[in-house]
Amino acid sequence: MSGVRATPFHRLAWATLVLAFVVIILGAYVRLSDAGLGCPDWPGCYGRLDVPDETHQIAEANVTYPHRPVEPAKAWKEMVHRYFAGTLGLSILTLAVLAWRRRLMPGQPVVLPLCLLVLVVFQALLGMWTVTWQLKPVVVMAHLLGGLTTLGLLAWLVLRQGRYGGSAVALDERKLRGYALIGLVLLVGQIALGGWTSANYAALACPDFPTCQAHWWPPMDFREAFTLWRGLGVSYEGGVLSNDARVTIHVIHRLGALVVFLYLIWLGWRSLEVNRNPAVRFAGLAIFVLLFGQLALGVANVVLHLPLPVAVAHNGGAALLLLALVTLNHLLRLEPTA
């Protein structure tokens, strides 16, 4: 793929994009290893900028936070994630400052870096509420979506400024634009369902595949399963839903995965047919490969009972699939150069 000459802003945007992906993977690892409350306060950990590790420090922390005794392994997981997330925030702040200082330069994006800055501040608030509201599912899901939105917008910033993809697609190929946007919306909806499944500890509600608890359509409770707000003062660690509600969330996530899989298979095939633009063909091939990888990881999560590496890889695959869809939308919206 060709692009314009890299500027310091563009190189920083690339580095920030990679960092955002790392933060998403770390966040998934923290959540899936049950370390989301490894530090009961925010932004520090037991009132410190690091984790209490000496005997007297641990004793003091346990007195101050008797409801959450120190577990150093979980606390370090959480703090490493916070360190990386804080670095990501500083990188986005730098991008916004550079964009504003270069705002009069031709081709310099300004609105998107500023929007990213607002988004990362909101992400910090969601991170705080995740801890202080004790893993409230709607906050955990929103935090996941915010991270992936940050990743997607950073990718769009890099792609649009660099004009990656070479020439614009032909007029008759631009009809895919609407379909590609629908695919992106469907994927985001499925990611939200995945986040809701994880936040409510419903990933193993159906321990068999393709059936669920030996039923094709098991007993379900839609009302309880999709109640977003249940008040404050409740710890959601380990989940609070009944079996039927968790089964409902899991089954709907599976059905959503089927719909998204079929649609994106079709979209990837149509992208491969656009053979006059190799970049579009490559994006279509990437969608194919990532889709089948995600399908394999999703099934493995069930039959292997959610092994941590597979579960984290499933989250990473969703992020990569999002990047593939963002790239396809970018390529289909390239306009001819003057």
How many angstroms separate the CA atoms of 228 and 208, rounded? 27
| Catalytic residue, candidates 78, 224, 273, 335 | 78
Residues for the chain: how many in total? 338
**Most distant pair of Cα atoms in the chain: their distance:** 71
CA angle at 199 for the pair 240 and 89, rounded to the nearest 5° = 140
Report the DSSP beta bridge partners of residue 215: 212
Shared-domain flag, residues 178 and 295: yes
* One domain for residues 2 and 127: yes
Cα–Cα nearest to 317, from 286, 290, 288, 284: 290
pTM for the model stands at 0.92
Does 90 lie in the same domain as 125?
A: yes
Q: Is the peptide bond before 43 cis (omega within 30 degrees of 0)?
A: yes
178-211: burial string, b at 16+ Cβ within 10 Å, e else: ebbeebbebbbebbbbbbbbbbbbbbebbeeeee
On whether the CB atoms of residues 165 and 279 are closer than 8 A, the answer is yes
- Give the pLDDT of residue 164: 72
83 with 180, same domain: the answer is no
Both 27 and 173 in one domain: the answer is no
**Can you give the C-alpha Rg of the chain in angstroms?**
22
Domain boundary among 145, 164, 183: 164
d(Cα 148, Cα 164) in Å, to the nearest integer?
21
Same domain, 188 and 88: no
Q: What is the pLDDT of residue 274?
A: 63
180 and 319 in a single domain? The answer is: yes
Query: Which residue, of 119, 137, 164, is where some domain finishes?
Result: 164
**pLDDT at site 1:** 46
Question: What SS3 class is residue 97?
Answer: helix
Name residues whose C-beta falls within 8 Å of residue 222's C-beta, 6 or more positions apart in sequence. Answer: 248
Last residue of a domain, one of 147, 164, 181: 164
Q: Residue 107 in 3-state DSSP? A: coil
111 and 24 part of one domain: yes
138 with 272, same domain?
A: no
Where does residue 56 rank: exposed (0-12), middle (13-18), buried (19+ CB within 10 A)? exposed
pLDDT digits (tens, 9 = 90+) for 276-303: 678 888 999 999 999 999 999 999 999 9
Same domain assignment for residues 142 and 203: no
Tell me the two tokens of residue 71.
């577990």
Does the active-site annotation cover 224? no
Residue 267 DSSP class: H
Q: Which domain holds residue 53?
A: 1-164
Contact 29, 77 (CB under 8 A): yes
Q: 317: helix, coil or strand?
A: helix
CA atoms within 13 A on the CB side of 93: 8
| pLDDT score, position 338 | 46
CA separation for the pair 186, 256 (Å, rounded): 9
- Dihedral, CA of residue 194, residue 151, residue 112 and residue 169, to nearest 10: -90
Count of the separate structural domains present in the chain: 2
Same domain membership, residue 87 and residue 14: yes
Question: What is the full per-residue pLDDT of the chain (338 aa) written as tens digits?
Answer: 444 557 889 899 999 999 999 999 999 999 999 898 899 999 999 989 999 988 889 999 999 998 889 999 999 999 999 999 999 999 999 999 999 998 888 888 999 999 999 999 999 999 999 999 988 999 999 999 999 999 999 999 999 887 776 666 665 567 889 999 999 999 999 999 999 999 999 999 999 999 999 999 999 999 999 999 888 888 898 889 999 999 999 999 999 999 999 999 999 998 887 656 788 889 999 999 999 999 999 999 999 999 999 999 999 999 999 999 999 999 988 876 54
Rounded CA-CA distance 68/38 in Å is: 8
* Neighbour count for residue 98 (Cβ, 10 Å): 17
Q: Which of 160, 43, 54 is nearest to 99 (CA)?
A: 160
Using CA atoms, how far residue 1 sits from 166, 273, 328, 329, in Å, is 6, 19, 13, 15
CA distance 78 to 46: 12
Asked if residue 201 and residue 96 are part of one domain, the reply reads no
